Structure 1
């Protein structure tokens, strides 16, 4: 199995961050790694999301777990390997929130595919989380 995790802290509240996550059509507003995106249903378990990174082929994800205001997990099943990303919000002291992303690549081909694909998938996590936090913070009441 291959795995990577990154998190940051923000002054944005969980509700503001969750609102941005649940509005799939607007992910390109804070994620430069998304050129186009489409969900085939509501932000709920079983919904399929088709995401196209800039200059690349579309990737299909399925929402495997959704806990509103707390976390969601998306899964890409490639047959001989699976990419599973957990997106988690944790309330901290002082009104802060930790945003965490954790990606795991598992399955028979994970040892071969993970070291190449994993870093390509997760390289932008610091920028994505920073942009998500900044947008959520900018929407907070002053």
Structure 2
């Protein structure tokens, strides 16, 4: 197994951050890493989804665990293995939240991930953290067009 893990502290309310992070149908609207995404059913263990990351092949995933407002885990099959993503959200003082994304690559292709994609994935994680912060704040802002 090979692990890529990054974390950041972002500002915002945990409920809004959680809402944005688990709104699979709208990931591509705000996350610069995603081109398209969908989920079939509610965001809960066993739910099946599909995602097309930028610069990588599209594929299905399954939500394997959800601790509402705290963490969630997904798995996707790759040839001869799988990728498991684990995401956690921990409120800190002063309206900040620690977000952690941990990607585990299981199977014989982990050296390829390390060699080809590790730096891009790490960089992408921080871009996604910043985009999540902006999206969570946008979701809290009053709708001035309809207000």
**Same fold flag (TM > 0.5):** yes
Distance change (3 Å), C-alpha of 1:117 and 1:64 = farther
Partner of 2:58: 58
TM-score (norm 1): 0.86
Give unmatched runs, 5+ long, in structure 1. none
Partner of 1:73: 73
- Name the structure where strand makes up a greater proportion of residues: 2
Give unmatched runs, 5+ long, in structure 2. 143-147
TM-score (norm 2): 0.84
Q: What are the equivalent positions in structure 2 for 1:1-142 lying under 5 Å apart?
A: 1-54=1-54, 56-107=56-107, 109-116=108-115, 118-119=117-118, 120-140=120-140
Give the 4+ runs in structure 1 shifted more than 6 A: none
Distance change (3 Å), C-alpha of 1:57 and 1:77 = closer
- Superposition deviation, residue 10 in structure 1: 1.8
Distance change (3 Å), C-alpha of 1:101 and 1:111 = closer
Bigger mean CA offset, 124-133 vs 23-32: 23-32
What's the CA shift string for 1:7-60, capped at 9, x where partnerless? 111221110011112211111122122111111111010111111124653221
**Structure 1: distance between partners of 2:38 and 2:139:** 24
Report the count of equivalent residues.
141
